[in-house]
Amino acid sequence: MVKAIEWKDNKVIMLDQSRLPLEVEFIECTDYQMVAEGIKKLWIRGAPAIGIAAAMGIAIGARDIKAGSYDDFMERLEPIMQTMLSTRPTAVNIKWAVERIKKLLSTKRDESVSSLKKILIDEAKKILEEDIEINKAIGRWGAEFIKDGDTILTHCNAGSLATGGYGTATAPMLIAKEQGKNIQVIADETRPVLQGARLTSWELMQAGIPVTLITDNTAGALMKKGVIDLAIVGTDRTTRNGDVANKIGTYTVAVLCKEHNIPFYVAAPISSIDFNMNSGELIPIEERHSEEVTTIWGHRVAPEGVNVINLAFDVTPAKYVTAFFTEKGAFRPQDIKKIMREDVDIESIRIR
């Protein structure tokens, strides 16, 4: 399994995914500004992975803070956390990581500054380790919905490269393969930066899972032919009503699945669910630079001066989602808001 990110020798090591699959290059981030740059420039991407990166960025930034007290340390840490929050606004995992760190530090007021720095490093490593176990659990629940012989459509990349390891949308595929199920995957290329072509197809080939690459606008034709049995995608943010923000084009896939009576599943670690946001209409949608659309790997494919809309994400309403695969089980969209409530019996709302 390729590691997208790790903490090693007091550095944050990132696999530069912008160069895959032609080059496999790891970047050593020695300060939090480099980590933030890596998130912005898509050296690392995928909601869980950038949450991990944000935690590690905060830890490496804290390492260089000179402070004599807890309050002084926290005051100097705040702009580092704000830098992480500003990198990619749509994915909730960065916010989740920052809030988790703030909550942890609020219980450590009596610790020395040197101890606080170590606590942050240990917590960042813990978030990475937890993510891998969460993804395996998502895989076990999701694999229950994959039958022997199924062909699965996926969009963008929600594999080990997008997480601490194992992936979210790809985890059920990996588990299904381990269970001996004969499956195939169809990967959308995912314009404009081709995460499906460059990353998902590469990952699945590394894992020995048969994968076929298609252009984004081929999916509907294959559904009409009866080629696709189910779709599994990831999510950058899910709201409490079950609306899903994911890579641009996900909404199109969901609508096509609905039209052709194909199950549309979302692999959603609980850290990617925003229980404080009521609907997808409130999710801030990142718009990226026009050059991602007008050029392909530095080669211009559009006329100079053309107007461009380059939305990084779209929102799929809950009515198009068949079920969510989480580490706590599989749930219908209307039950997402219940899964963290102490008065709810999780088993009673799980689906199989």
d(CA 336, CA 326): 10
| Residue 1 confidence (pLDDT) | 63
Whether 1 contacts 165, CB under 8 Å: yes
Helix (H) or strand (E) holding 88: none
User: Residue 298: which residues within 8 A CB-CB, separation 6 or more?
Assistant: none
Written as tens digits, the pLDDT of the chain (352 aa) is: 678 999 999 999 999 999 989 898 999 999 999 999 999 999 998 888 999 999 999 999 999 999 999 999 999 999 999 999 999 987 788 999 999 999 999 999 999 999 999 999 999 999 999 999 999 999 999 999 999 999 999 999 999 998 998 899 999 999 999 999 999 999 999 999 999 999 999 999 989 999 999 999 999 999 999 999 999 999 999 999 999 999 999 999 999 999 999 999 999 999 899 999 999 999 999 999 999 999 998 899 999 999 999 999 999 999 999 999 999 999 999 999 999 998 999 999 999 8
Helix then strand then coil, % of the chain, to nearest 5: 45, 15, 40
Q: Residue for token digits 């912005």?
A: 40
Host H or E run for residue 127 = helix 113-143
The residues that bridge with 184 in the sheet, in sequence order, are 151
Q: Is 343 part of the annotated catalytic residue set?
A: no
Single-letter amino acid code for the residue at 126: K
Three-state DSSP class for residue 153: strand
291-294's contacts with Cβ under 8 Å and 24+ in sequence apart are 292/192, 292/193, 293/191, 293/192
- Structure token pair of residue 66: 């000179």
The b/e string for 127-163 (b: 16+ C-beta within 10 A; e otherwise) is bbebbbebbbbbbbbbbbbbeeebbbbbbbbbbbbbb
Q: Of 188, 236, 274, 335, which is the active-site residue?
A: 236
The answer to whether 94 touches 50, Cβ cutoff 8 Å, is yes
